[in-house]
Structure 1
Amino acid sequence: MQVNENILEFKQVALSFGETEVLKNIDLELDSGQFYTLLGPSGSGKSTILKLISGQLQPSSGQVIFDGKVINDLPAEKRRVNTVFQNYSLFPNMNVFDNVAFGPRLKKMPEEAIEEKVKEMLALVKLAGYENREINELSGGQQQRVAIARALANDPELLLLDEPLSALDYKLRKVLQTELRTIQRRLGITFVFVTHDQEEALAMSDWIFVMNDGVIQQQGTPEDIYDEPVNHFVANFIGESNIVPGVMKSDYVVHFVGKDFENVDAGMRPNEAVEVVLRPEDLDLTTPEKGKLVVTIKNQSFRGDYYEIMAQDDDLNLWQVQATNPAVIGSRVGLTFDPEDIHIMRYNESEAEFDARLEAYEDDETPTDPSDSADKVPEVFDHE
């Protein structure tokens, strides 16, 4: 990600309601002019982060820093941020022009400047000529465009978008995804977008924070998050995955399903328990003799541009494969893949927890217990 001036920072921010921890010591930094996404299931804490940024909530501990100043106690109306909500929150008794002009009028801008600003914002969201329309005359997509124009008319340094596209149909969502990204790049404003839709996050973002249970499980570019998930939760939440237990026998050698495989990961202790991810699109069908794994085809379904195939190996592990050609149900086939297609994940740890543990290895020379074996792996904790 391009390095720009830092605009917002969370330092060990936590939030609790009574005995319920909603956020657990969150650290994050946002640079100006980037498109960020908070991605996670309902209840993961992503919308809570937006409320802490906007001033609707105050942290139980830690610091929220905006442009180098701690703003924990700064009232919401004095923060240079605006929010676009899922339900639009437009004023039904005002027409389109007056909705967009609401913020500039509060700032007591000259009416001529307000008119110019409103027209500029409506043109930006492709609603030029809609100034006199009533809100109830607009479609859902048009109302969302008005909500975006109204927020941008306040010239925020940070625009917060709380699942703004979730109420729209699939095709309209795709259109607005592209338009939002174009608007963000054109204006150079920092966007913080909240969604539970992984496809949406991958398509729109410069940088993604994957959240679960009040913790940032992983952060990175869309490519980082998809290609190198750090744990079971991230791999399952971001796309389809084949996940099996394994052991890193040494650098670049991982043991799973009874065999050793070359891979591209290093830096762990010998015989460290891990989970192994192989994405369905990275598996290719071949003959049993040429396969790194041998499986039996159980079923398949046509998905338009590929066949989704389910297969089972002799240890009863299920493997999902995406193939351009159909297979024969009941047939024995081989699966092949490249070393770089094998992704090694942490057991039950966030990215920060795992990185801290690896750093501790440098100071801990305790040898690995020789009783450890490639067949001993801990029970997987299922975050779902």
Structure 2
Amino acid sequence: MGGDKYLAKKPIVSLENINMSIDDHQILKNVSLELEEGKFYTMLGPSGSGKTSILRVIAGFSQPTSGEVLFNGEKINNIPPNKRKLNTIFQDYALFPHLNVFENIAFGLKLQQKSKAEIEDRVQQILKMVQLTGLEERDINELSGGQKQRVSIARSLVLNPRMLLLDEPLSALDAKLRKEMQYELRELQQRLGITFLFITHDQEEALAMSDFIFVINAGEILQSGTPVDIYDEPINHFVADFIGQSNIVPGIMVKDFLVNFVGKDFECADAGMRPNEQVEIVLRPEDLDITSVDQGKLTVRVDSQIFRGDFYEIIAYDEDDNEWQIQSTNSVEDDAVVGINFDPEDIHVMRYGEKEQDFDARLETYED
């Protein structure tokens, strides 16, 4: 294969073996990653997982205890935030309430002592880009939450950053506006072609917006990959449970492509493990089909159900008292005994304690 399209892009930002501690508490543990130009990246994890600490290290607001921060291959550990070619948008937007929309967006350009003509031209271009044309004189306190979000983005974009860091910027918005802003941010990033690093604890938000996700917990990157990779092939119990809803039960890997759980053998799509190794099994609720008992691979008794609008969320239990979540377009009677079906490809097998590098290598052996 020839041609530039097969060449890997040079990372715009790299972290190499980043550790960070405060007193005796280790916040980041040997974090390494690469961020390519023009992609939408998301750091996803629960509160206190370390995702914002990673963003602050990249921005220059926090110093790592050890490790290197690289921008275009050059070390920038000692370069202050205002000298780095990236901008940060915080959760509270940090807008100046005494300045109007135009003045807020122009603030950084005035600090750079740009001419009035250049400031006017660049601000008007950005206003059009974020769909705020005509609101130049509007007081900040008169704006909606979504408009404030756009002003915050515009104030960063007007400085032509190579990368935009967004620290949970949608968390203060109501559910409907939050979803609208997800689409707007994603469309804006694709149109601009600059790198976005987005911080969130919202799994659906991460899956909807990202080219690439880093799942963080306890200061470590547990898994990284595309949204489809992360959802379909979680590396461990935490990732499987944190990303979407999951049915997770213990099992035994009998041999390649054959796994045993709830006392039965099932064909599966996983391989590369030791014979009779203890494993965990993941089955997503949307992959389970309700059928008659005689046609089902498992038999369960329905305990309860909730109507979610486009599906019923059903909770059922098997004879070993394992709980099963099922998503179905049809309702069922409480206490009904039914069968559930699934395909071999729906079964995902996880090893205990497997690291991402070993997990990726194992996937390659049977994907080839």
TM-score normalised by L of structure 1: 0.91
Cα distance in 1 for residues equivalent to 2:181 and 2:201:
16
Asked if 1:275 corresponds to 2:280, the answer is yes
Shift of 1:108: 1.8
Deviation track 1:240-270 (CA, whole Å, cap 9, x = no partner) reads 1000011111110111111111000111111
Match of 1:26 in 2: 31
| Structure 2 CA distance for partners of 1:324 and 1:253, relative to 1, 3 Å | same
Asked if 1:114 corresponds to 2:119, the answer is yes
Match of 1:239 in 2: 244
Asked if 1:145 corresponds to 2:150, the answer is yes
Match of 1:16 in 2: 21
Cα distance in 2 for residues equivalent to 1:312 and 1:47:
39
Cα distance in 1 for residues equivalent to 2:87 and 2:358:
33
Asked if 1:319 corresponds to 2:324, the answer is yes
Match of 2:348 in 1: 343
SS at 2:331 equivalent: coil
1:261 to 258, 262, 266: 266
For structure 1, the 5+ residue unaligned runs are 360-384
Match of 2:227 in 1: 222
Alignment of 1:1-384 (within 5 A): 3-352=8-357
Aligned residue identity for 1:311: A
Aligned residue identity for 2:63: Q
Cα distance in 1 for residues equivalent to 2:68 and 2:44:
22
For structure 2, the 5+ residue unaligned runs are 364-368
Shift of 1:142: 1.1
Cα distance in 2 for residues equivalent to 1:11 and 1:5:
15
Shift of 1:39: 0.3
1:10–1:65 Cα contact (<8 Å) kept:
yes
Cα distance in 1 for residues equivalent to 2:143 and 2:360:
50
Cα distance in 2 for residues equivalent to 1:231 and 1:97:
48
Cα distance in 1 for residues equivalent to 2:360 and 2:144:
48
Cα distance in 2 for residues equivalent to 1:336 and 1:51:
46
| Structure 2 CA distance for partners of 1:216 and 1:353, relative to 1, 3 Å | farther
Shift of 1:355: 5.7
Cα distance in 2 for residues equivalent to 1:133 and 1:267:
61
1:298–1:329 Cα contact (<8 Å) kept:
yes
Equivalences, count: 358
SS at 2:293 equivalent: coil
Match of 2:366 in 1: none
Cα distance in 2 for residues equivalent to 1:355 and 1:229:
11
Cα distance in 2 for residues equivalent to 1:81 and 1:67:
12
SS at 1:289 equivalent: helix
Shift of 1:353: 6.5
Deviation track 1:144-173 (CA, whole Å, cap 9, x = no partner) reads 110000011110001000000000001111
SS at 2:114 equivalent: coil
